[in-house]
Structure 1
Amino acid sequence: MALHTIKEEVGSTTLQLVKQNHVTLDKTISAINDRTITLLDNHFFSNPAGYSFWTGIDTLNEIQQADNILESWSTGGTEYAIYMKNIERRDTPFDLSHKTKGFKYLDQVNSGLPDVMVKQMDISGAGALRVIPSATGERTVSFMRSILNPRNYNEVIGLLVVHKVEVMLTRDMVSVELPAAAGAFLFNDNGELLMSTGSGSISAAEIGKNTEPDAAYGYTFAQEGGEEWLYAYSDSSRFHTRLLYKIPLASITGKQVWFQKLLVLISFVFLAFVLMFVLYLVRLVVKPVVKLVSVMKIYEPGIKLPLSEEPLRHDEFGILQGSFVKMTRRLDHSIEENYGMKLKQKEYELLMLQSQITPHYLYNTLDSIYWYALDSGNGEVGEMVRDLSMLLRIGLSRGRTMITAGEELEHAQAYTRLQTKRYPGTFEVCWQIEDTLRDYETPKVIIQPLIENAILHGVRGMDGEGEIRVSAVQAEGTLRFIVEDNGHLPVDLEELAAILREEHSARGYGIRNVHQRIQLHYGEAYGLTYERTGEGWTRAIITLPLRRTKTEPAGN
């Protein structure tokens, strides 16, 4: 993976170098192209006299003048030449066929002109790089552009050629230093090798196998001659050239490969040290852990472990073993405590059974007193005994905490009957109960403390003018018990709210107990609230959720 990553980085970096070098070459070719366009525009298209001059040269002076013009355009070692078709059949004072630069007339069959130049004359106005063999056998790179007739753009009247372009291109290519055996190669759109630098060589088979003709750029790795090579190439869409680098991969990655081998060797040495350290850890760590696990497997709660008397180690494993021993001892102690608590619970259940027997005898005794009073003709005492019996029976409710609303109202009614006997002619109680609410669930003994407060702090001293209203209604999806009184003493609602918030711990125990029990069962959205009515009455409101109960009414 490391070698592959290095190769990809080398390929990517080399490709960027190729692209940059190709941009530089394009700038040079573009400069030559712009000069040819300017030359043709100045001497043919924007200058009618110039067109007449170039198509009518027939004297030595005019030939020298034309050569001087082209010589002035030649820069950087390049040579400019114009090959004109002899449209007007001019006769020059001497033979121009030997000339390789400057001005030259062509005959009707373009004799003496290389085939590549003849083909370029058929391409109207487009510039191209071509390889032209010279008379001495040397090859030169030339940039050529056909000259169109300014009066008829469909007619080609000559060819403008810039010879020895390789002088300028070589300067750009050799600016990149290549490793030994590497080479940089520039091709034209016909696949001809325009020029190359470096000591390397390349064949047409290599090019076809290691490059993609349709790809604008890319790089590949291939084996050639028993060695791995990097091929990086870039295409120019403007002048249809391709620049290709062929570089031996070892010349770039040689040091990296050596460094990689060194890393592998270091890794093996490090692995050996790691294995030795692991063996040491096995003796130091695994052995005491296995011993501790074996002790944990045989441990059962309540059974003491057969631990050896050897001292504990002072490291983390000694601390762990000591903590485990302490944990087992605490667990054994907890089991003993739990067993003792279960025994006490059984004793408590027996006491509860005995306590349930006592109220049963009490109810029977009160029932006997009730019938005795009726038989003796003392019905009022009998009624009071019956109400007292109901208070006790519903208040105890066989240990239940939740009863039906009907039972709770019966308990409150029994209490009010007893209080009217205690305070005769002092107040009246009005009941407004919806019968459909009697089967809903409610905590027991929550209305009686409110009625007691209404009597003691409201209507007890009103000499027959006191009135208490007790209501059970359904409102907004809740069950509400409402106790109102017209007590003559003013009530401080803020103090009552403070009592419910437990800000006065020594007062209002009864109503605070009611409020806390309701919230304990149903949450803070429910409970007891106080308000002042428009008539000046004090109103206590108990709000409960509407929940039906399956609890049967308490019996005798």
Structure 2
Amino acid sequence: MTEARLFSRHSIGTRIAALFMLLILVITAAMTYVSISVSTNELLDSSTEYTEQLIRRVNAELDMYVEYMKDISDFIVDNGAVAAYLRAANEHRLTDAACREAQEQLAAAQKIRSEITAIALIPESGGALFGSEGASLNTYSNYQNADWYQAALQEPNEVQVSSSRVENLIAGQYNWVVSFSKAVLDRAGNMQGVLLIDLNYQIIDRLCADIQLGSRGYIYLIDQSGGILWHPQQDLIYAGLKEENVAEVLAAADGRTLSGKGRMRRLYVACASEATGWTAVGVAYTQELLRSQDRIYKTYLLIAAAALILALVFALQLSRSIAGPIRRLMQTMRRVEDGDLHVRSQVSSRTELGQLSDSFDHMIAKTAELMDERLRSEEQKRKSEWKALQAQIQPHFLYNTLDSIIWMSHAGRNAEVVEMTSALALLLRSSIGDGSDTNTLKKEIAHVRSYLTIQKMRYNEKLRYEIDLDPQTEDCLLPKLILQPLVENAIYHGIKVKQQGGTVRIESLLEEDRLLITVEDDGVGMTPEQLETILDKKESDAESTKIGVYNVNERLQLFFGPDAVMKYYSTPGVRTMVMLVLPIVRGKEEDSHAED
């Protein structure tokens, strides 16, 4: 505790500087043993040079062998019997004698080296002749697309050396081989076929087995594509039980790299062959290379261990003085991320961490203040927008209705005057309401029914209407006066302009977790151009409120949010229907959606 209070009186920079000063003292003491390290490095360099010489020797022997196999390939290609066989096969006049003579040449060449597993002669017209008696072409072999075949076609004047692969050319045989392939040309330079010679790994085993890199060291080969061509533990490599860091070895600038730690620390020395394109990699364990230095290493490790222990003591002290405040500050940040703007970090320190904590607490307080102000502003803005949108929906037909009442009164139609006046009173009363911005669907339908009663008396038989209200939807909440503009739009733009009039149908139902309301008329309909812009904001005129549809959509978005969907469907001369797909909000949830 005393040490913690001592460190807390200093800045983070002072503490880090003091700790690093102590660490440097330890490093300085360890530098007395640099000479030992230098001698160790020199020994490692000499071992590396020796390993590289061995690898170069393997490469040279492989290159000589590859050149020898290329000479064999050239000898077979230049053989007259081979040329005669290919010419006859391509001209479809092949005889048994030609096959026998060519096969004898292939069989003789195959017996030259025991590691040759197969020699095949493939005419351009298809098929294959093998040096092994009784061998036949695998009907499922797609040799025309094989790398060795394509390489021979692309460079017909060179013998091509393939990577390690499974040979499936001969029926019933699937051996791992390395292949030599060469195109066979006639005197005019025309392609006649391809010669293939497959080798097993005997020669590679023999060449690499002579190289000793300690009791655990070994050599492996990498092909041109970066895959492992040969490995002393080939079965483990192909089974995925052993891996080599091929990419790291090939990426080494000078072909040398060290990998691993302790007993598994390995020296990799790579050398590429220009003749084959293969890379021979020697792997030697540094523990064996530096066996005479084990005692020096032990001494060095003891010193290093003591230095690490000393550094650990100081690191723990640094952790106690810094990690605690940082941890509390991080916990505070997480709570702020979760939305708690009232939490404080409460890091009491005179260091930079304490200053950072104070600044963070001040930022939280300021952010909370700004958030509260923003919420109040947004709430006021939403109320203003709500009132403004609602105020735009005016019962503009009031003047026409009053004119109709006056006209009917002069005509002595007192009963109709009473009916229209009563409907108008109900309409105005529901419009003014009790100050609430919402209505149940039942009240909204009653308001629309009063409106339709007035319009029905004005237009007589030209206007008909039907209302089908699902009882389960009656207590669903809507913004007030949301349906009247849709009905008004159906009358003025659908029914009124149709000579024989029409019917307005209003329907509601529940579908899963959504409320569906449709207002449909069989009026003149709309063109695709009108339908495309129906929800756009428009200017109003003296006849009707064209902005009604736009305002309905705006008010639905304000009330329900993006879950509210308003869709128009129309067929010119047939019908128009608007569908509202809304979240279900029951009357008991009114307080959470309606404004005061």
TM-score for both structures, normalised by structure 1:
0.39
Largest Rg, 1 or 2: 1
Structure number with the higher helix fraction is: 2
